[in-house]
Amino acid sequence: MLSLVAKYISILPTFHPFQNPSYNMRIIFIFALLLGVALGQNSHGLTLDQVIDRVVADLDKDHDGVITQAELNQEMIARWEHDGDGCLARHEFEKQWVATYHDHPNTVNEFFNRIDLNRDGCLDSTDINVHSTALDTNSDGVATVAEFRAFMHHVHPEGNGNHGG
């Protein structure tokens, strides 16, 4: 997106700043607007809802519309935790999340901070279990995709309008 902005600006006629201040202000406004759009998506242009759709597709292996604690543990700990210590360390999480879901590293860092409940730099089965319970907002014993989506909008930094880090 930024390369398109640079290309667009390079074809615009140039004016001395004192020749046409209102024109220059419009260019600055357009650039700021386009920059805001670019930062409103992750590095692959995905919105938070698109990222959540991808996460759900990875988590809900049996496609039953329910995210189980076992599915969370399987995806987040068993699949992403590479050194076998049972702890999905910050660097492991950030590397995998950025590679899989293409969020900006700053966004992923903040996201990790929000889901690492005891602030030990490690996501483990205890963190996952607490989040599994929190997902089930209506206490019916299952966490639906809708409940997971609401949870992600609550804990993911982009859910608060800070898209792109």
Q: Do 80 and 92 contact (CB within 8 A), yes or no? A: yes
* pLDDT given at position 165: 42
* 39-48, 69-78, 98-107: the lowest-pLDDT one: 39-48
CA separation for the pair 86, 89 (Å, rounded): 9
Residues 61 and 81 in one domain: yes
DSSP E strand stretches across 39-120: 66-67, 88-89
Residues 10 and 53 in one domain: no
Query: By residue range, what is the domain housing residue 56?
Result: 48-160
Residue 74 in domain:
yes
For residue 33, name the pLDDT band (cuts at 50, 70, 90): very low
Q: What angle, 0 to 180 degrees and rounded to 10, lies between the N-to-C axes of helices 105-115 and 145-155?
A: 110
Residue 25 in domain:
yes
At 98, which CATH number? 1.10.238
- How far, in Å, are 104, 118, 132 from residue 50 at the CA level? 14, 29, 21
Q: What is the pLDDT of residues 42-68, one digit of tens each?
A: 556 789 999 999 999 999 989 999 988
The answer, yes or no, to whether residue 34 has pLDDT greater than 90, is no
The model carries a pTM of 0.68
Q: How many domains does the chain have?
A: 2
Higher model confidence: residue 83 or residue 45?
A: 83
pLDDT above 90 as % of the chain: 42
Residue 12 in domain:
yes
